[in-house]
Chains A and B, each alone.
Chain A
Amino acid sequence: MKHNSRQIKNKDNNGFSEQLKAYLLLHAHALFSSLGRMVRNSFTSIMTIIVMAIAISLASGFYLLVVNMQQLTGELEATNQISLFLKTNVSDNAGEKLAEEIRKNNAIDKVVLITKEQALTEFKQYSGFGDVLDILENNPLPTVIQVLPSNTLNDMQGIENLMKQFNQLEKVDFAQLDMKWVQRLQSMMDIMQKAVFVLTILLGFAVVVITGNTIRLELQNRQDEVLVAKLVGATHAFIQRPFLYTGFWLGFISGLVAWVLVSFILLILQSPIEKLSILYDASFDLSYFSFVEVLSLLILSSILSVVGAWVVLHYQLQKIKPK
């Protein structure tokens, strides 16, 4: 643009504000003429936008899935509570005695006994299998002692030792560290998060390539125009400007369509998810895109698209030479 402004200065006509106005008008013209051209070639534009929107909504949809699952698992308390499942032949009374003994241990903060009866009531209430349990003659559930160690979460060694002790107790069928499955869930979440990250990069790359290819075809269709423009002294910056704006529009509109698409899918999922969370006696609010996320989505898809256009223009424009 340096050359361009110098060129204008050499001319006898206008002052700085006039030049700036002409320059901005040039950009505005490229912005809207590229949009107009896309509307005129609506079939090609729509095809490209659909493909890009699907790629973008895949990436952003998986992103939202992870956000929602993180929200869900975040509500789970990360405790180092240990559950001791007693053998089924151990009575509640014997269980109470064991709980008393455990309470004396210095390393223990809190002990809660859940009797077979309590366990059954709770299970009936939350599992939704209440009627099935009524058919059974005996209560199949064991007495459970919940133990909360006093030491910190980080002290895995101490907890491991405690677990070993509990497992050796005669009345205990097995001891389970509740944290284990939270940890498992969280590491699964980590994997998913990384998978979504990789997927996003791949799909982002797809957006770059799709735009690049579209711009390449557009450039081929307008080769005569480019040649004539070069012959009358157009710089690369001037020639590529409308194409870059086409890239911008492709990315921006695709991002917009992807946002609508993902929101629509979430809207469809909203009521079944609500039903499901009622069944689990949980209240779970589905997260949609926040304002900032929508903005980032649009900016990112626009930038990727412009990059795709730029790369192709950088290599192809030099090849178009007047002969």
Chain B
Amino acid sequence: MLKFDHVSKRYADAGDALLDVSFHLKAGEMAFLTGHSGAGKSTLLKLIAMMELSTRGNILLDGQNLNKITEKQIPFIRRKLGLIFQDNKLLQDRTIFDNVALPLVVSGYSYQEIGRRVRASLDKVGLLGKEKKYPLALSGGEQQRVGIARAVINKPRLILADEPTGNLDPELSAEVMHLFEQFQKVGVTVLIASHDVDLLSQMGHRILTLDHGQLKAS
């Protein structure tokens, strides 16, 4: 599903962020990406989401080499992904419905289909009935779940989450992680960047550890 082949990323001003990183994530696998802050976790996720381009090496996503993707094809790569952010990146001036519907709207789905899938997606994260509310009316944990509902509505093959529990207390964090496990159970590949080592070790999934841009043997 996702293959890193000797990937390096060097920033002109900050030096090497990733150095010779290779790993293979199989379809339906769930893995955690961990390491100290500045170890390159976010950079690695950004390379997959095509927010950055690698300096060296190849990244294969679903058989497609991301180095060979043109600017115009980027949106179609992103539609295969479900992205989740620490700050959830919800639009505050839009309702929960509109926020969750956005990936379908940009892909040109019909209104009936959008309505049906938004409700199904909100149901999955336990927020059915909150469609008409605005993000600020929800708690932090609920907002993060709205972000997850938006990420999975497009039925992505791969979910990428960058510190999804960073702003949540341990109880809510565990709840969110279990939500990801449920998606993994239905065949979605999940890659979660987190430094919450205690929580990760409890869950018993594969852990990729980055140290100063290099992947430590796991």
| A interface residues, Cβ below 8 angstroms from B | 3-5, 7-8, 11, 13-14, 18-19, 21-23, 25-26, 224-225, 227-236, 238, 321-323
Closest Cβ of chain B to A245, distance in Å, is: 15
A4 partner residues in chain B, CB cutoff 8 A:
107-108
Partner of B108, one of A26, A224, A227, A228: A26
Closest Cβ of chain B to A204, distance in Å, is: 31
A228–B91 touching, CB < 8 Å: yes
B75–A8 touching, CB < 8 Å: no
B109–A229 touching, CB < 8 Å: no
Partner of B75, one of A5, A23, A234: A234
Task: With A231-B49, A232-B102 as known contacts, state yes or no: A7 contacts B79, CB within 8 Å.
Answer: yes
B77 partner residues in chain A, CB cutoff 8 A:
233
B51–A8 touching, CB < 8 Å: no
Closest Cβ of chain B to A32, distance in Å, is: 14
Instruction: Check: B23 CB closer than 8 A to any chain A CB.
Output: no
B109 partner residues in chain A, CB cutoff 8 A:
8, 11, 13, 22
A234–B106 touching, CB < 8 Å: yes
Which interface residue of A11, A14, A232 has the most chain B CB atoms within 10 A?
A: A232
Complex Cα distance, B154 from A57, in Å, reads 49
Q: List 19 A-B contacts (CB under 8 A).
A: A3-B72, A4-B108, A18-B110, A25-B111, A26-B108, A224-B89, A225-B91, A228-B90, A228-B91, A229-B106, A231-B78, A231-B83, A232-B78, A232-B102, A232-B154, A233-B75, A233-B106, A233-B107, A236-B72
B110–A13 touching, CB < 8 Å: yes
Complex Cα distance, B75 from A23, in Å, reads 18
Complex Cα distance, B103 from A233, in Å, reads 7
- What total of A-B pairs shows CB separation below 8 Å? 77
Complex Cα distance, B108 from A19, in Å, reads 8
* Top 10 closest pairs, chain A to chain B, by CB: A233-B79, A234-B106, A233-B78, A232-B103, A22-B110, A233-B75, A235-B75, A322-B51, A4-B108, A238-B106
Partner of B113, one of A7, A13, A26, A234: A13
**Does more than half of chain B's interface fall in helix, strand or loop, or is it mixed?**
helix
A21 partner residues in chain B, CB cutoff 8 A:
110
Closest Cβ of chain A to B158, distance in Å, is: 13
Closest Cβ of chain A to B64, distance in Å, is: 14
A7–B107 touching, CB < 8 Å: yes
| Besides A19-B110, A22-B108, A25-B110, 13 new A-B residue pairs in contact (Cβ under 8 A), listed by A number | A7-B76, A7-B107, A8-B107, A13-B109, A22-B109, A26-B108, A228-B102, A232-B150, A233-B77, A233-B107, A235-B75, A236-B72, A322-B51
| B interface residues, Cβ below 8 angstroms from A | 49, 51, 72, 75-79, 83, 89-91, 102-103, 105-111, 113, 150, 154
Partner of A22, one of B49, B78, B89, B111: B111
Closest Cβ of chain A to B132, distance in Å, is: 18
B107–A224 touching, CB < 8 Å: no
Task: With A233-B75, A233-B79, A321-B51 as known contacts, state yes or no: A8 contacts B108, CB within 8 Å.
Answer: yes
Closest Cβ of chain A to B92, distance in Å, is: 8
Closest Cβ of chain B to A10, distance in Å, is: 10
Partner of A230, one of B75, B76, B90, B108: B75
A14 partner residues in chain B, CB cutoff 8 A:
110, 113
B89 partner residues in chain A, CB cutoff 8 A:
224, 227-228, 231
B50: nearest chain-A partner, CB-CB = A322
Closest Cβ of chain B to A65, distance in Å, is: 47
Closest Cβ of chain B to A131, distance in Å, is: 75
A232–B83 touching, CB < 8 Å: yes
Complex Cα distance, B107 from A21, in Å, reads 14
A22 partner residues in chain B, CB cutoff 8 A:
108-111
Closest Cβ of chain B to A305, distance in Å, is: 25
